[in-house]
Chain A
């Protein structure tokens, strides 16, 4: 891992700051997600941590970070062990790769990336959880997922602003 976020020219994210941010996100995933739930939509703090980590250190680190954070999420969910690891590895790699070609670092881009990542992850997770039952997948994906994606994106930008100062 390098201390730079690469070709964007934006300020580098130090490992210490990211470690603090990551610790907060992991703790929030355990403690805050349920209290912050609104109508079934809840912010995904693990995904937030993954997004900013992958954007900062690109595809290789993104894939490793995604795998580790996915296992963490799997350990919290206690079913389909490895499913989140799979999804978040792909996401981490994809987000890291996106940084190589996407030079913009505005809040709008952050919002879009987090929301998109959440939707992609939900497709995988809800699809596996629905076990082929379209109704179950439909209900959750078309109602909870967009809300959760928007909520996560907003919380992610807010956390970045507060904890990373960007």
Chain B
């Protein structure tokens, strides 16, 4: 049986609580403060834990965001630095190349290009004002790029070796033999060398311009043979796939090979280019003998250290 009827129980509890409160209020200040601190500690502990964890999480999140931003900035900076380094290396290489080549070169920056998978034209910032004319070869220290097809006052359009209309008379420098052919791109924009069926070629053989046709002087590097196959349709010619020396995608500066008015750059003349990494290709009438019989030494052996070291 309960001590109090339910109707009175609420009053009794309320009176007890009021009495307890009055007792607490009647305590000395120091005891009150101590009690308050104890209860505060119990009440606030979980909250302060949560606040600590949540605050830590927020702090870490902010820090993480800042670090990500810094990392992004550093990556951009690194990328810029890398681009500058590569450009510097390229320009040094070109500078050394231009100094060593005994011909008249006009440097030109690439100011526009098409961004197809196989780019076929580009615009350079040298034109009539720089004495640039149509059909002049465009080269880099790595070799042939293409030729000038139209000239403006300050700019020119360059037909690249990947252009469907591009072709150049080429000379394959075998170890102990030479082969003449034509270099032109296939439908996919890949460079190929067309040779007579009887011709011999091996993977790694270097290809330079032959000088025939008058468009390109003899000896400009084009690339090297990567694979050989017969023309399946006619069987009359051998087609070698060529790995170009110049990577068109990374070009920023090129040289226009100016025509020397005192010379005729057609085949058979005495224009001999010295290209870093290449010996002089033999001219018509040069004697060949054995693997290293080309004039000036092994025709495919690098004549000096790689141009990167310039």
Chain A residues with CB under 8 Å of chain B are: 27, 30-31, 58-60, 63-64, 66-67, 70-72, 74-83, 85-86, 89-90, 92-93, 96-97
Is B22 positioned at the interface, with any CB of A under 8 Å from its CB?
Answer: yes
Q: How far is the CB of B32 from chain A (nearest CB, A)?
A: 4
Contact call B36/A75, Cβ cutoff below 8 A: yes
Across the interface, which residues of A come within 8 angstroms of B25, CB to CB? 80-83, 86
Is B84 positioned at the interface, with any CB of A under 8 Å from its CB?
Answer: no
Contact call B24/A82, Cβ cutoff below 8 A: yes
Across the interface, which residues of A come within 8 angstroms of B43, CB to CB? 72, 75-76
Among B33-56, those with CB < 8 Å from A are 33, 35-37, 39-40, 42-44, 47, 51
Given the interface pairs A76-B43, A93-B10, the reply to whether A81 lies near B33 with Cβ below 8 Å is: yes
Is B9 positioned at the interface, with any CB of A under 8 Å from its CB?
Answer: yes
Contact call B47/A82, Cβ cutoff below 8 A: no
Looking at chain A's contact residues, the main secondary structure is helix
Contact call B14/A74, Cβ cutoff below 8 A: no
Q: What separation, in Å, do the CA atoms of A95 and B156 have in the docked complex?
A: 93
Q: How far is the CB of B111 from chain A (nearest CB, A)?
A: 59
Q: How far is the CB of B162 from chain A (nearest CB, A)?
A: 67
Q: Which residue of B lies closest to A79 (CB)?
A: B36
Across the interface, which residues of A come within 8 angstroms of B40, CB to CB? 75-76, 78
Contact call A93/B14, Cβ cutoff below 8 A: yes
Q: How far is the CB of B144 from chain A (nearest CB, A)?
A: 73
Across the interface, which residues of A come within 8 angstroms of B20, CB to CB? 67, 82, 85
Contact call B14/A59, Cβ cutoff below 8 A: yes
Across the interface, which residues of B come within 8 angstroms of A72, CB to CB? 39, 43
Contact call A86/B10, Cβ cutoff below 8 A: no
